Structure 1
Amino acid sequence: MTTTLAEAHDELRPLMFSIAYRMLGSVVEAEDVVQEAFLRLHRSPQDGVDNLEAYATTVTTRLAIDTLRSARVRRERYVGPWLPEPIVDSADADPAHRLELDETVSTAFLVLLEALSPVERAVFVLREVIGYEYAEVAAVVDKSEANCRQIFARARKRINDGRPRFEASREDRDRLAAEFLAAISDGDLTGLERLLAEDVVFVGDGGGRAPAIQKPMTGAVSVARFLLGLMRQGERFGVLLDLVHANGQPALRTRAADGALLGVMTIDVDADRIVGLHNVLNPDKLGHLGPVGDLNTLLGRRA
């Protein structure tokens, strides 16, 4: 092996985090998996390792599968809807969390992946995202090539059934997001309803730690009125809204008057309408983005 683990650390870490985050939908858990994977790599004999990248991928994926199996039990007890932890794309973002922000890290896509079993998720990520051949995937998950082909076909069908019908360009997504923010800020109910698809879905994730709706809300009229009600409430406490990019898509960041982060809401666009809004309010899922405010205290509520 011509490259030592120490020399390859900076090159391997983004790949390992990319796999772990897509597998788990959690920045914290992905960091833990990557750290444990590096510890195992350091402890294992490397003399017989011909391909360090493949070895690192295998260790990371298997650890992520085990972690996801454990996480599934916790998520069954989770208060309200579970959403992945957002990764905000900014100049001062943690370099350790930077990964190729494409459709496969969008909030909507990661939510779709939740329907897959841990092994299905691993096969799909390795084949569809990382671009591994079936023989390589089979070696990582310890399955036959034929079995991996079947697993991937089933997983891809389930994912494709839930994907947007029409992919919007980044320019169109950003334009709709800007119009969305303007309509909310202006209290423009008619304009807001016009931007939302008739079957738009709003999902809030407070995890029992922040006030959020316990079930998804659907329908342009209901969602528009709910959002404007939130805006009126936020204005009383000097809440600030601004547009950012999170998980490769436009998002609305909510901050307290002192700048502390309160939430990140990703905006899903299909063609020329907003079809989904995923609002992460759980402070446990925002800590990696900087100082987090207490929404319950702000609103004078008890968690």
Structure 2
Amino acid sequence: MKYIIGIDSGSQSSKIAIFDIEGNLIVEGKEELRPMKLGENTLVEHPGDDIWESICAASKKAMEKFQYDSKDIIGVGLGSIRCCRVLMKKDGSLAANVISWMDKRTSTPYQHDVPEAAYVTSTDGYLTHRLTGEFKDNIGNNFGQWPVDYETWDWSTDPEVLKTFNIPREMLLEAVRPGDVLGNITEEASKLTGIQAGIPVVATTSDKAVEGLGAGLLHEGTAVISLGTYITAMVASDEMAPVDASAYWGIMSSVPKKYILESYGIRRGMWTVSWFKNLLGQELS
């Protein structure tokens, strides 16, 4: 039997799951993220290298439980929080804390206020580099203030579009479509995660679209209610949402050239459940 690893880096925790190729869950590992760093005027950041460190911890937990031959693991699917903004130095390390999707800066064009920043990327782009050493990004996870061409599923080549988002092309990583290989696990990443070196890492798409895929959101006429930190409704579509759409928007699905229409949602959805749990006691877990 062969196995695959799924990486899910969320707003509250990182989860690693190992499945057999028939879709049966074999083992999983989970690591809670540290509380967000909050600042004035709706500034919300992930402290330090928390996202990467939580993935390493969750992965080691899963691999320690895995009782089969790790050489039978044939691939890793990488998915993480969308709408975040990550500033990377030339060497791929963080130039600043990861800016959360809840931070007001992610809804406005990029401001060149960190001199050390050589690249502007998503959480997928950063995690791809940590796992594989490649400077590549999953285009499907770039939703919001990014110069994406939704027809070609690549970065826009229009100078005016790049100017609008204030991100020069040289600061963007190489775009990779959902389902394509981002790179292979490096020896360094293997030591930190427990995942065998050389295994290919495959781009999934944004976290919401991955959730839709898992729930069977594949054809027009199907819909899903997503109960995440951000609660929303989604329907499958063969067409991208119009630019003047009201109360919903379009995102790239897990299948190239297919789309998901997503409603406006509740920004503190399941986070409220965690808040009540922490407030009233761990016995509610």
Give the TM bin, normalised by the shorter chain.
under 0.3
For normalisation by structure 1, the TM-score amounts to 0.27
Structure with the larger strand share: 2
For normalisation by structure 2, the TM-score amounts to 0.28
User: Which structure is larger by alpha-carbon Rg, 1 or 2?
Assistant: 1
Structure with the larger helix share: 1
Higher relative contact order (CA 8 A, sep 6+): 1
